[in-house]
């Protein structure tokens, strides 16, 4: 088994267009033997947001800390709190916005590239 605490890893700045004050840590992925899905830990600073975007793979998100909202395809905001779980289906537009004065922390899990390739067949 692999045991890790998220603070054991250095956070990487998410530099893609539209990301504002977002960092990521990959907690579990292929090099650990995780063939099917990856667990990533995100932090978003006050006033920050993940990019409003879409992609062909799904997200499974769980809010750990902070006040936040999820923006949907109609650009409508849905309030979230610690303990909220969100499923974003493939190809759906979305982003996660920090609405508070502390760091937003959440998990976001995605299928591995191998699973994505299999699904595309």
| Residue whose CB is less far from a second copy, 15 or 24 | 24
Coil, helix or strand at residue 116: helix
Note whether 80 binds a second copy by CB under 8 A. yes
Of 60, 21, 55, give the one whose Cα is nearest residue 40: 60
Which CB contacts under 8 angstroms, 24+ apart, belong to 22-25? 22/48, 22/49, 22/50
How many other C-beta atoms lie within 10 A of the C-beta of residue 80? 22
Note whether 70 binds a second copy by CB under 8 A. yes
Task: Choose, by CB under 8 A, the member of 27, 95, 104, 108 that binds a second copy.
Answer: 27
Binding interface with a second copy (CB under 8 A): 1-7, 27-28, 32-37, 39, 41, 58, 60, 62, 64, 70, 72, 78, 80-81, 83-89, 92, 94, 107, 109, 111, 115, 118-119
């Amino acid at each position: 088994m692999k045991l890790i605490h998220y603070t054991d890893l250095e956070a990487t700045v998410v530099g893609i267009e539209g990301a504002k004050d977002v960092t990521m840590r990959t907690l579990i992925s292929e090099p650990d033997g995780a063939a099917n899905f990856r667990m990533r830990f995100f932090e978003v600073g006050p006033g920050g947001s993940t990019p409003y975007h879409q992609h062909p793979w799904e997200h499974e998100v769980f809010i750990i800390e902070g006040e936040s909202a999820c923006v949907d395809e109609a650009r409508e905001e849905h309030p979230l709190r610690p303990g909220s779980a969100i499923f974003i289906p493939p190809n759906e537009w979305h982003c996660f916005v920090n609405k508070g004065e502390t760091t937003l922390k959440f998990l976001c899990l995605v299928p591995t590239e191998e699973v994505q390739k299999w699904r595309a067949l």
